[in-house]
Chain A
Amino acid sequence: ETGVTQTPRHLVMGMTNKKSLKCEQHLGHNAMYWYKQSAKKPLELMFVYNFKEQTENNSVPSRFSPECPNSSHLFLHLHTLQPEDSALYLCASSSGTGSYEQYFGPGTRLTVT
């Protein structure tokens, strides 16, 4: 595997379900990011991790819970989501938070029913 991988690629979940999105980067980077991409809206930064420590939470509702066990892996735990949370969730990494060149995964297309 190379670059940034995300699993699953597609996910359908009910509002009472609990699920997790996984991201792994094979680039030796130290910073990882979660973004939400909704139709006709700009990419929204959700969380930033640098050396496993969360450095940014962009006022994300608590039903989204990130976890970064090491610099290569990033999870987004989902619980009691709403239909408006349906979107493409993108993971990215960069060498550090000082770098603006971010490498994105293909995303997880999430549908909340």
Chain B
Amino acid sequence: GESVGLHLPTLSVQEGDNSIINCAYSNSASDYFIWYKQESGKGPQFIIDIRSNMDKRQGQRVTVLLNKTVKHLSLQIAATQPGDSAVYFCADRPTFGNTGKLIFGQGTTLQVKP
């Protein structure tokens, strides 16, 4: 069936280092891929998206890479800060109709060490 999965449940990085969070997806027909961040006690918050016809998109300190050949998505955070500590979810949007349905992965917990 359809699924979105992450490679590592937990990632620990030193403050100031770069972080890379990976995600694998199974649905070749998804048109958008999205990253969300969920801080403790809060709901998920949209970070960045990438359309399926792109392979890279940059935001403020974040970059998302899409490799459709191997169905792999990654989120890179530059100069990781303590405020980046959170659970990060990737999600994809199936193209069959505008139903609002997103398929979420399980999440990677990013821990930033001072």
Contacts and interface: CB of A to CB of B under 8 A. Distances in A.
A75 interface: no
B41 A97 contact: no
Interface residues of B, number: 23
B44 A106 contact: no
A48 B45 CA distance: 18
Nearest to A32: B100
A20 interface: no
A50 B100 contact: yes
A86 interface: no
A55 B34 CA distance: 22
Interface in A58-113: 58, 90, 92, 94, 96-107
Interface residues of A, number: 28
A106 B98 contact: no
A60 to B, nearest CB: 13
Contact of B102 (A40, A45, A90): A45
Contacts of B91: 43, 100
9 contacts: A42-B104, A43-B91, A48-B99, A50-B100, A90-B43, A96-B100, A97-B100, A104-B42, A104-B43
Given A99-B100, A104-B43, 18 more contacts: A31-B100, A42-B103, A42-B104, A42-B105, A42-B107, A43-B44, A43-B91, A45-B102, A48-B99, A97-B98, A97-B99, A97-B100, A98-B98, A100-B32, A100-B93, A101-B34, A102-B46, A103-B46
Interface of B: 4, 32, 34, 41-46, 49, 89, 91, 93, 98-107
